[in-house]
Amino acid sequence: MYISQAAGGLTEGRLHALAASAATFNRLAGVTGVLLTDGARFFQYFEGPHDGVDAVYGRVRSSSSHRGLTEISSAVVKSRQLPHWEMHAIAVEGEAIDRLVAACWEEESVDAKAEKESGMKVISDLLDLPRSSTRG
């Protein structure tokens, strides 16, 4: 997962086209996940087989539609968190992106003492998922 800044002039129409192209490619690559945007920033989480994830990340990194890509976490997950989520762009408040950036993304280190909230919990809150469907 990463955050980035939308390039100037990224219209809603272009964003739709980008998301459609992403969804088509991801389906073939076996990659699922979610793309959130507050209009100025992107937050994207995606998961799948290593080769699929690498191919998608290559496309993401070479896109001129955003800049300042900063990786938040890249980890092996035991099972898919969002198995049924084909990529599409969802509009959220800027506050939601801030919460995602501040969240804890290391699965194993989330304990009772942790002050940060779990990143996947934030995602499931934002997507309004029943907690069970975010588990494998």
Ligand X SMILES: Cc1cc2nc3c(=O)[nH]c(=O)nc-3n(C[C@H](O)[C@H](O)[C@H](O)COP(=O)(O)O)c2cc1C
Q: Cβ 59 to ligand X, closest distance in Å? A: 4
Amino acid at 4: S
Q: Cβ 93 to ligand X, closest distance in Å? A: 17
46 belongs to the binding site for ligand X (CB under 6 A):
yes
Contact code string over 69-98 relative to ligand X, x by CB under 6 A:
------------------x-----------
* Nearest CA among 76, 75, 72 for reference residue 1: 72
Cα angle at 24 between 20 and 29, to 5 degrees? 140
Q: How far is CA 4 from CA 40, 44, 45, 111, in A?
A: 9, 9, 12, 29
**Residue of 66, 92, 119, 124 that binds ligand X (CB under 6 A):** 66
26 belongs to the binding site for ligand X (CB under 6 A):
yes
Comparing CB distances to ligand X, the nearer of 22 and 120 is 22
Comparing CB distances to ligand X, the nearer of 90 and 110 is 90
**Residue of 63, 118, 133, 134 that binds ligand X (CB under 6 A):** 63
11 belongs to the binding site for ligand X (CB under 6 A):
no
With a CB cutoff of 8 Å and minimum separation 6, the contacts of 111 are none
Comparing CB distances to ligand X, the nearer of 39 and 131 is 39
Number of residues engaging ligand X in binding (CB under 6 A): 18
With beta carbons less than 8 A apart as the criterion, state whether 25 and 77 touch.
Answer: no
Rounded to whole angstroms, how far apart are CA atoms 18 and 10? Answer: 10
